Amino acid sequence: MTNVVTANKIELLAIADSVAREKLIDKSIVLEAMEDAIQRAAKARYGNENDIHVKLDSNTGDIEIWRILEVVENPENIFTQIDVESAQEFKKGAKLGDQITDPLPLFDFGRIAAQTGKQAIVQKVRDAERARQYEEYKDRVGEVVIGAIRRIEFGHVIVDLGRAEGILRRDQQIPRENMRMNDRIRCYIMAVKSDTKGPQIFLSRTHGEFMKKLFAQEVPEIYDGVIEIKAVARDPGSRAKIAVISSDSAIDPVGACVGMKGSRVQAVVQELQEEKVDIIPWSPNPATFIVNALQPATVSKVIIDEDEGRIDVVVPDDQLSLAIGRRGQNVRLASQLTGWNIDIMTEEKETEKRQKEFMERSEMFQNELDVDETLAQLLVAEGFTELEELSLSDISELASIEGFDEDLASELRQRAEEAIARKEEAMRAELQKLGVDESLIGFAGINNQMRLVLAEQGIKTLDDLADLSSDELASRKDGLLKDFALSQDEANEIIMQSRSHWFEDEEVPSESSSDDHKPEGDSEEALPEGSVEDQQPEDSDDSETPSDPESPA
């Protein structure tokens, strides 16, 4: 058969070299793709049943085609097996189990075979290009890159990054920003994901880290690490706040970021489509930090509620609109920047709120302790807000209040304990009415308020609680007990405690197996080995009985 190939040896190598340079992949990958294409064509020519192999020499361009035959005693498949006698024609001294190489002649590629081979080469080269792009960009998340806008599809912008393409989705674009073909823009690499269609490089111009990177490019002190941007809050295209701190007391972090006549911050503002940037000093003290974050408004007072994770900020009446900002923008950005929920109120509103809280607490003490208004108000004035605080107070501490003595202090604490007991009993009755199982009512890991919230969500047994995850229980977004400010560790502890009875049940069979060895005629119930009764005589006065009937022996 005539040794004919569609392209000569020199052309094959030139094509492989050109494709490798254009796609920025290794030349060996292109040659391997060509080998696969020739192998497919050879199988179509000589039969798919044959075990055909192809080798394309990367130096000379020579092509070798052969098939592998196994030497067996009685061949069952003539395409992959050969007997010992016939094998001698290919290899002298061939014996059973040997692999024989049978060279095949080159052939003229037909139109269909050539087209199939071309598709195979294109596919393999494309796969190699995608793999190269993913490997190149997967470790570049967090970088700022410059690219040219190639096309806009359904509002999403495709950016040519030179060696790959990134996508700037609509929600990651600065509002009202005018995007035009071939414009060069800076973007932040937000994520790189591998996909069947190739690597997906997600870009952003609204991410807070993008602003950090822009300031690092404009402010040498940030790049060198002398100044650190601690937090960023953005309303893209409109306004932003950044909190900065300097490790060198001689350097003013705010002034360094602003630059001479505002040159540094202005460069960032122009890149972000005239987005106004407030630069404020960061402080480890939450109150000070929040006062700075609410600039340019003046703050009169800051009241922190750490249990609720909330801060009340009191401002003069004429500063209220400035503190809140247009459409709540200023307080919203300050809240994002500091991580606290901020309530803005005027001095007049704050006074009204405090008076209302004072009257509510005084009324609560009047009703629960059965005391007059003066005594109730005196307790509130001394800082008592809950019955639990009063019940846990030391007698001498209460007696030290002006007008109190030890008898009055003792009586107040006793009444507080009785009031708490009444509330607990009423709550227990409410839980029973809702169908809450005794196993959950008696569980010490949570309080009655938590039990009530869980019951309203259908969690009515200890097993129901044990089946939950810590996120389902305490997630700040949608956790069942999100209003109780549980930490992740506290939620995990509750879940583990609620599951402990599962393991107690597993131990019962092994302990009760001692009944098999009980002497006949012994009418007493056999006790688990190691119990208190086993260790002490029957008439001992020191024997103890567990106070909790559900606790394990």
Query: Could you report the per-residue pLDDT of 434-471, keeping only the tens digit for each?
Result: 888 888 888 888 888 888 888 888 888 888 888 888 88
Reported as a pLDDT band with limits 50, 70 and 90, residue 280 is very high
Distance CA 243, CA 254 (A): 9
102, pLDDT greater than 60: yes
Distance CA 344, CA 290 (A): 11
Does this model's pTM top 0.85? My answer is: no
Domain boundary among 146, 179, 204: 204
If one counts the domains in the chain, the total is: 4
144-148, 282-286, 289-293, 529-533 — which is least confidently predicted? 529-533
CATH at 372: 1.10.150.20
Residue type, 378: L
Distance CA 299, CA 68 (A): 86
Beta partners for residue 304, in sequence order: 311
Sequence length of the chain is 553
CB-based burial, 106-143: b 16+ in 10 Å, e otherwise? bbebeeebeebbeebbeebbeebbbebbbebbeeeeee
293, pLDDT greater than 90: yes
CA 98 to chain centre: 57
Q: Say yes or no: 551 and 440 in one domain.
A: yes
Kindly state the tokens that stand for 217: 């490019």
Beta strand extents in 445-535 (DSSP E only): none
Please report whether residue 393 resides in a domain.
Answer: yes
Kindly state the tokens that stand for 301: 């007072």
Residues 12-17: what's their mean pLDDT?
71
The H-assigned helical ranges of 373-459 are 373-381, 387-391, 395-399, 406-433, 438-441, 448-456
pLDDT at residue 544, rounded to an integer: 40
Let me know if 462 is exposed, middle or buried by CB neighbors in 10 A (0-12, 13-18, 19+). Answer: buried
Q: State pLDDT tens for residues 305-346.
A: 776 778 889 999 888 899 998 889 999 999 999 988 898 888
Reported as a pLDDT band with limits 50, 70 and 90, residue 80 is confident
Q: CA of 287: how far to CAs of 236, 299, 313, in Å?
A: 26, 10, 9
Q: Say yes or no: 126 and 165 in one domain.
A: no
Residue type, 529: E
Kindly state the tokens that stand for 76: 């069952």
CATH at 164: 2.40.50.140
DSSP H/E element including 201: strand 200-204
- 235 SS3 class: strand
CB-based burial, 217-232: b 16+ in 10 Å, e otherwise? bbbebbeeebbebbbb
Please report whether residue 219 resides in a domain.
Answer: no
Q: Say yes or no: 32 and 89 in one domain.
A: yes
Q: Say yes or no: 13 and 128 in one domain.
A: yes
Q: Label the pairing between strands 52-56 and 276-281.
A: unpaired
Please report whether residue 544 resides in a domain.
Answer: yes
Domain boundary among 133, 151, 186: 133
Please report whether residue 416 resides in a domain.
Answer: yes
Residues 56-85: what's their mean pLDDT?
78
Q: State pLDDT tens for residues 379-438.
A: 888 888 888 888 888 888 888 888 788 888 888 888 888 888 888 888 888 888 888 888
Residues 55-82: what's their mean pLDDT?
79
CB count within 10 Å of CB 149 equals 17
pLDDT at residue 417, rounded to an integer: 87
Domain coverage including residue 488: 434-516+527-553
Phi, psi of 7 (to 5 degrees): -120, 145
Please report whether residue 3 resides in a domain.
Answer: no
CA 349 to chain centre: 39
CATH at 90: 3.30.1480.10
